[in-house]
Structure 1
Amino acid sequence: MNLPAISHVPFGKDAYMIKEDTLVVVLKAAKGDLKKVSLFFGDRVDIHKEVQVNEVPMELTGSDELYDYFECVVKSQLTRICYYFQIEDFFGVNLFYSEYGFTEQMNRQRIEYFQYPYLRREDMIEMPEWTKDMVMYQIFPDSFASEKGGISGQSKRIKERIGADETDGLVEYRSNLGGNIKGIVENLDYIEDLGANCIYINPIFKANSYHKYDTVDYMDIDPCFGTIDDFKTLVKAAHKRGIKIILDGVFNHCGPDFFAFKDVLKKGKESKYVDWFYKLRFPIETKPYPNYEAFAYVASMPKLNTGNPEVLEYCCNVGRFWIRECGIDGWRMDVANEINHEFFREFKKAIRAENPDSFLIGEIWENSENWLLGDQFDSTMNYTFISVCKEFFAEESINVQQFDEKIQKMIHRYPYPVSLAQMNFLDTHDVGRFLSFCHGDERKLELALAFMMCAPGIPSIFYGDEKAMEGLEEWEYRRPMEWDRKTSVFDFYKKWTHIRKGSKALSRGNYRTEYIDNENRVYAFSRQYEDEKKTVIFNASEKQVCLNLGENVNCAPWSVAILE
């Protein structure tokens, strides 16, 4: 028995509440090492000298390249729980595992069991109900639309004087392609028809550059995109169609014309906003690189000191303002992994106080476990998903077994309710278009899209993917929406968004691997929620394949089938 590989840490992904009377417990062990695992649990404050325990068999729910994951659900009226495991390998070795360690006999005292001290409702990770059936559509506003079914393609330059006196000067706002908020309003029917019920919009606040990640004013809409009234119209019109709105919040850094940074540039060390920025050095230098902290050494994006209580209060007020005044449904937070954790704890409290059903997503490209314990983000951008799909569907550089292992590792790294809320995507405004990674092979794009619609997590479509848009460089994958392009890919996207939204199993169910065939590149998994079960079969090859999964299935090349 491989004892060093066996692990369990109470709380987090290994022990978490899904209801006030329901606890999920997970044990990790070396792949293929354990034959049987059982959980024994009892009352942590049992009045008897010996704790009365109940046994719950644990299910092998998945395996990655190194580990097996065993899981069980403990449903009990107990509010204080202690527990231990009984493990058996394929050679007949039988041990008990507790906080104390490994023993041949379970003769330890209850204080040496694993503990879940109290099942408090405040500690339960809960997602807003509306997010559980979400299909997201991401819009880069400059590139999307300026009218119904069209975009002008015309750049804009708008100048405005800001500040209290003439020395503050002019600020210029610009756009490249002419997309605006009215264009989104005019095309809500298109988004609804596609099957999306949530729109995530890249930054729309006053900013110098076309991408709007260098904010000038967090409390106003960039004039290149429209007005606050235009945005209120968008939110109301979207909500009438059952479509939620999520905005992009850029609080790691600001733009050079943000009022606090302008004051620092003007007054130097005497500015009352010096501590609003992270590690300023005087005299301030911008070339060849800034001598102050900034986003990726970009001088025009000075880093905000989010640990400063004044900055925290300002940003929380911004978060509340757009929920209260315009009715937005959530935020996506830019460069979240470079901001202190306490900032997000307070920001989440602020927006939840304004709207208990608001949703908070973080831009974190790596493992986000420390941000996803319920006190900070509800979700993060799942860049692991795109990496694995790129390897399997686009590049064909990994086999089915490796694909399943990577997906299982991705799913098991968080509590399952959190994995269900991860923002999955095939591309975004920051990476190349998936179809380009497929070298234009639309069959591969369609299969990856079908997997995204059937996998745990929130599927997200980047504008134009449904039009088979391509591009590997920034100017390509952010180019104007190709409204006039006719492609069968759109119908495929529409079909699968509606399949996803029509199935509780695909949006909320568990995930179990059912079939792996490396030679023929056939993969099947099932998802079940209550009495509904879907088995999804992928043939990611040029071969015609027949297999039996309770019934005979004839799989055409690069196809997907669902068994009820």
Structure 2
Amino acid sequence: MQLEGVLHIPLSCYAYALGEHTLVIRLRAGKNQIKESRLFYGDRVCVNDPVDVTEVEMERIAEDGLFEYYEAKIRDSYTRVCYYFSLDDGNNRIYYGEYGFSGEIPTNRTHFFQFPYIRREDIPAIPPWAKEMVMYHIFPDSFASGKRFLRDEKKCITENGKVYKSTHGGTLRGIIENVDYLKDLGVNCVYLNPVFAAESCHKYDTINYFEVDPCFGTKEELRELSGELHKNGIRLILDGVFNHCGAQFDGFVDVREKEEKSGYKNWFYEMPFPVSYETPPNYEAFAYVKEMPKLNTGALEVADYFAKVGVFWIQYADIDGWRLDVANEINHEFWRKFRREVRKVKEDALLIGEIWENAQIWLLGDQFDSTMNYTFMSLCQEFFGEKRISVEEFDRKVNAMLLRYPYPVSLAQMNFLDTHDVPRFFSCCNKDKASFQAAVFFLMTCPGAPSVFYGDEALIPGKEEEEYRAPMPWGERVPSMEEYFKKCIKMRRSLPALTRGNFRSVIVDNEKMVYGFTRKCPEQEVLVLLQLSQEKQKVVLPERFKDRLCDWEKGEKVTGREVELSAMEGKVFVLVNP
């Protein structure tokens, strides 16, 4: 047994609370190194000595090529837990606790791993609707200016000495007039890129955080949009850009004019005087862009200001949450305050951080509920788009991604194939419709909240920014793709196992290019099959699926344990009693 591969970290994604009396405990071991792992746990303040322990067998839940992962879910009446593991490789049994490995059963509770107390506030309070979400992501300038219509014209508006621009002429009124389109598609949440007053077309250089950009409309129209969406069962998330502001933001204008005498001099992260408004600037800015000076989010007055912004739009327009730009470059205490203030006015407001890498430190329950899952996008690009990794490697990477956080957090991750910042996934697939559809199918069946970028259902291509932010092609819609999206979204929303079920790999076949996994929640289990070869394939399933499958789409029961999949086809089967 290679002990160097064994790992457990208390109070992490290896040990977390689901409720006041429920813990999930995970263990990592080297691949093919152990036959069995068992968990022994008890009340860490038990009056008996040695402590009374309960023994449970751990389930092998995943492997990533190097390691295997085991998990046990424990429920008991006490809230202070101590525990250790036994590992058996068929020849030897080793015990693993806080002080390392031993051939003897530990009896001193101080040698056990500890979960000191299951505190209510340490249980992530993720809004329940987050995992039920199917998001439609809209770049406002590019979507619509009327019902199934986009004027596609440049705008340049000057008001009170400020300049506002747009490229394609999209408006909030245009979105309002197409809410029926969104409802028909089946989505239940809309995320808008920035809509606040800003000079650029992308609106990530905010001038006024309390006003809607005049190119898009008015704040009254934003409130109307929110109301219209809510009437149709669709929530609304806005984009908050608090890492930096625009060059026309009053605070930055004041600092440039008054320098040391400005009341805003502490609002900016690094602002030497005199200010050199050149390229590159002599002050800290987002990505060295002079038009986007970096805000000092560690300053109390800045945190107070943006907490008020977060609260204002919830109270004024009844929005349902925030997607938070460049979240990983902002002070952690800023985010804690923002969360506290926002949750005071809307308990189930959803906070999604834009973080491209491992975001564990932001997902401890005190900052964000979710982050944008760029790992998901990258894996789909490698597998469905570029086709440069095998089914086996894809499975390993998917499992590693899902094990990165406590599972309730993984269920709320914002999964997507493309966004306003990256090439269109249809182009990543070399405009191969079948590969694109396979990726959409996986998007809708994988754990996490799926997000569809506007126009993906119309097969918008594009590898450059002006291409992947192209106008919505209302006059060139693709009915077959719209119907495919509708079917997949309906499937996602109608099967509880797809929104909140666990994930277990079942079939990983490189030769036939077949991938199968189950999603299981208390009331339902489904089998998801996806085959990526160019030929029909007969798939022989494990014995436990014999006579237990019902094709979700056709409503037909499968006899035996063999199913046939067409080329590049994905199917979902609901498990029923034999």
Provide the TM-score with structure 1 as the length reference: 0.97
Identity of matched residues, %: 49
Matched with 1:552 is 562
Matched with 1:519 is 511
Structure 1: give runs of 5+ residues left out of the alignment: 162-169
Is 1:21 the counterpart of 2:12 in the alignment?
no
Query: Is contact 1:520–1:543 with CA below 8 Å preserved after alignment?
Result: no
Work out the CA distance in 1 between the residues paired with 2:125 and 2:497: 18
Work out the CA distance in 2 between the residues paired with 1:179 and 1:150: 9
Range with bigger deviation, 282-291 or 141-150: 282-291
The residue matched to 1:493 in structure 2 has which SS?
A: helix
The residue matched to 2:278 in structure 1 has which SS?
A: coil
- CA shift, 1:543, in A, is 2.1
The residue matched to 1:12 in structure 2 has which SS?
A: coil
Matched with 1:88 is 88
Q: After TM superposition, where is structure 1 displaced by more than 6 Å over at least 4 residues in a row?
A: none
Matched with 2:264 is 273
The residue matched to 1:511 in structure 2 has which SS?
A: strand
Work out the CA distance in 1 between the residues paired with 2:523 and 2:208: 50
Is 1:205 the counterpart of 2:196 in the alignment?
yes
Which of 361, 368, 388 is equivalent to 1:397?
388
Work out the CA distance in 1 between the residues paired with 2:315 and 2:503: 38
Work out the CA distance in 2 between the residues paired with 1:473 and 1:541: 30
Give the counterpart letter for 1:560 in structure 2: G
Superposition map of 1:450-469 within 5 A: 450-469=441-460
Which of 490, 505, 521 is equivalent to 2:497?
505
Work out the CA distance in 1 between the residues paired with 2:353 and 2:92: 44
Work out the CA distance in 2 between the residues paired with 1:477 and 1:467: 12
Give the counterpart letter for 2:64 in structure 1: D
- CA shift, 1:108, in A, is 4.2
Matched with 1:111 is 110
Matched with 2:332 is 341
- CA shift, 1:287, in A, is 2.3
The residue matched to 2:35 in structure 1 has which SS?
A: strand
Work out the CA distance in 2 between the residues paired with 1:122 and 1:132: 20
Give the counterpart letter for 2:231 in structure 1: K
Structure 2: give runs of 5+ residues left out of the alignment: 547-560
Matched with 1:494 is 486
- CA shift, 1:395, in A, is 1.1
Is 1:373 the counterpart of 2:359 in the alignment?
no
Give the counterpart letter for 1:99 in structure 2: E
Work out the CA distance in 2 between the residues paired with 1:318 and 1:126: 22
The residue matched to 1:397 in structure 2 has which SS?
A: coil
Query: Is contact 1:156–1:224 with CA below 8 Å preserved after alignment?
Result: yes
Work out the CA distance in 1 between the residues paired with 2:345 and 2:12: 27
Range with bigger deviation, 27-36 or 224-233: 27-36
- CA shift, 1:107, in A, is 3.1
Matched with 2:75 is 75
- CA shift, 1:84, in A, is 0.5
Give the counterpart letter for 1:171 in structure 2: K
The residue matched to 1:381 in structure 2 has which SS?
A: strand
Compared with structure 1, are the counterparts of its residues 474 and 345 closer, same or farther at alpha carbon in structure 2 (3 Å cutoff)?
same
Is 1:283 the counterpart of 2:283 in the alignment?
no
- CA shift, 1:279, in A, is 1.1
Is 1:449 the counterpart of 2:440 in the alignment?
yes
Query: Is contact 1:539–1:559 with CA below 8 Å preserved after alignment?
Result: yes
Which of 334, 342, 345 is equivalent to 1:351?
342
Work out the CA distance in 1 between the residues paired with 2:364 and 2:246: 31
Query: Is contact 1:158–1:224 with CA below 8 Å preserved after alignment?
Result: yes
Query: Is contact 1:144–1:184 with CA below 8 Å preserved after alignment?
Result: yes
- CA shift, 1:286, in A, is 2.7
Superposed CA deviations along residues 51-110 of structure 1, whole A, max 9, x for unmatched, are: 0000011101111122211001011011111101111124x2211000011000123411
- CA shift, 1:478, in A, is 0.3
Work out the CA distance in 1 between the residues paired with 2:539 and 2:494: 26
Work out the CA distance in 2 between the residues paired with 1:293 and 1:340: 15
Query: Is contact 1:145–1:183 with CA below 8 Å preserved after alignment?
Result: yes
Matched with 2:289 is 298
The residue matched to 1:420 in structure 2 has which SS?
A: helix
- CA shift, 1:288, in A, is 2.9
The residue matched to 2:175 in structure 1 has which SS?
A: helix
Work out the CA distance in 2 between the residues paired with 1:107 and 1:303: 54
Provide the alpha-carbon RMSD of the alignment. 0.9
Work out the CA distance in 2 between the residues paired with 1:100 and 1:323: 49
- CA shift, 1:343, in A, is 1.1
Provide the TM-score with structure 2 as the length reference: 0.95
Work out the CA distance in 1 between the residues paired with 2:34 and 2:170: 57
Work out the CA distance in 1 between the residues paired with 2:151 and 2:238: 23
Corresponding pairs, count: 555
Is 1:561 the counterpart of 2:552 in the alignment?
no
Give the counterpart letter for 2:129 in structure 1: W
Work out the CA distance in 2 between the residues paired with 1:546 and 1:288: 61
Give the counterpart letter for 1:155 in structure 2: K
The residue matched to 2:131 in structure 1 has which SS?
A: helix
Superposed CA deviations along residues 181-232 of structure 1, whole A, max 9, x for unmatched, are: 0111100110111110000000000000010000000001001111111011
Work out the CA distance in 2 between the residues paired with 1:289 and 1:143: 30
Which of 420, 431, 443 is equivalent to 1:440?
431
- CA shift, 1:336, in A, is 0.6
- CA shift, 1:325, in A, is 1.1
- CA shift, 1:281, in A, is 1.3
Work out the CA distance in 2 between the residues paired with 1:242 and 1:33: 50
The residue matched to 1:209 in structure 2 has which SS?
A: coil
